[in-house]
Structure 1
Amino acid sequence: MVLDDADDLAPLMGGKKKVPAQEVREPLVVRYYEEGLARFEHFWATGQGRFKDGDLHVYSMLCNNLAIKYRFMDRYDEAADLHHKGLGSSPFAEHHNGLLWCAVGKDDDAQTVVEAERLWHFAQEHGYSRHEPTRYFSTVALSLYKLNRDDEISIWMERLDQWFHDLDEDEQRDVRRNYLASLMSMLDFFSSTRPELVLPRLRMHQQEVIALQDCYPLRRLACALEAYPELLEESVALHKQANSYLDKDDDEDERRMSQSGIERAERKLAERDAQSGAAASGRKPWWKFW
């Protein structure tokens, strides 16, 4: 769809300056996608139209493209219906990816895990050149955490390691930062219930994460350390170090979460010290001199 790409439109309209803004083009793109979909379905219902209107793979691609537009409009149920139509006509991985993000958009944690499972297995069995587990594994871990299914996070960490291991050396170098960021996020969610399994992996990667000088992965490592009362001083220090790495590429959400992470870790440290002080004073009442 040429309307969807400013670079494609520019030569047809006499230069980039004459290309309408995205917000102007977007309703037209959606309209033509919808009309294209209607033509395909009319052909199948009546047998009338051009023979290309019966191309199942093109129809499936059109379902995917329109579903993407609907997702950005928060029309998640309609988008999911289109992805299912696409899977029924010519299945490919982008539909499973789309169904995952429909579930995420609807805050449906159980369905998020279901769709992530389907995407992972489809990619393993049929291939998916644009498969990026680092884009969704931490979201799956969050859903499992919210569902009180924390132990299943270990399955997804194994899959993350498997995916990374299967890449060649150049690919591993290219995605190393994203791999570490995703792993730190998953370890953070896992640390509240299985701290004994998490700490060795945190220590294994800690220096490499620090060397990235990147707020997000170091912040998530610091968050994970909050699960260990004896390591709260270190957690506070790493939260502050992560905050110092914020740059122009970090959005307001990351800045807000970094600051709230510092405040939360400092509060936990103060509460721990207050409890320790109370326990110590309880062992020796004020009126005892021996």
Structure 2
Amino acid sequence: MVVVQARRLALPNSSPSTTALLLDPDSLSLALMHSDSSLSLYPSLPLSLSLSSPTPVPPPSSSATFLRLQSPNHPRLLLFLSSSPYLAGSSVLLRFWILHQNQKNFTKPKLVTCNQKDLKFDPNKSAVVFNVSHGVSVKLVGSVNVFVMHSASNRKIWVFAVKLVDGVDDGVSIKLMRCAAIDYSVPVFSISVSFGFLILGEDNGVRVFPLRPLVKGRAKGRHYRRRSKNLNGGLDNGNQRLSLRNGGLKETNGSDDFHGISSVSWNGKVRGGGSSSSANAENSHLEEKIDRHSGSVAQNLASELGDDSA
């Protein structure tokens, strides 16, 4: 039995008006989004306990998320991340704020180390410039030590890892690493990260990736052939059979390809995608790992749906 308690939250009067909010359930930190695309960061709830004024995030902000940082050598910290178009939308500006356990306000990191191509720290803005087109929409989703960025215009999803830089006494320097990129050809309507899985909402269901292989990269091993089992028995559409395997891995005309996924790459090296079975070996490897969890995922989903309908 799960007990759920709801309380009314009195938001402060602000100009411009508040249009949306983000809440980190672990720290109870709150981010209020305003009509001018600016944000206000509060370290904890209730807001009446916030003795100082909120931390302002100047506009524009196209997306934002909370991200938890934890490692054996450092206490758990909270990171807030926002994206915005930069240089007339030709690049994406990633801005970071950190909340320490003994602090009452969010502060900017003094340095963000990023040594990879297309990533550059701008000390004047205390932000990272990601040299990809912003386009019409960018979506950020955070987890523990990892965040994901989805660009609808680029039809691409990037997986990033973040960690504190060791040997820094003030603890406000972080390292940003681009771990993987996923190119897709079918529309992705939603994206979320939950319990170590990246979940993409598509037209005919959901597609699930385990995050760990995307962050760590794939170890060498045997090639796995796609399995034929699926959660819903498949959908017949003329001569095509769309098998929503694990909720979203589709099989078309008996092919072993990842339908809708063009490639999956680690650190710029493409190791999956395309139409050949060898090019899709990495995707098949990812899917083999997904299939290990498909039973428990299906059972949990069925349980949740049953609870909702009760």
TM-score normalised by length of structure 2: 0.22
Greater percentage in helix: 1
The structure with the largest alpha-carbon Rg is 1
Greater percentage in strand: 2
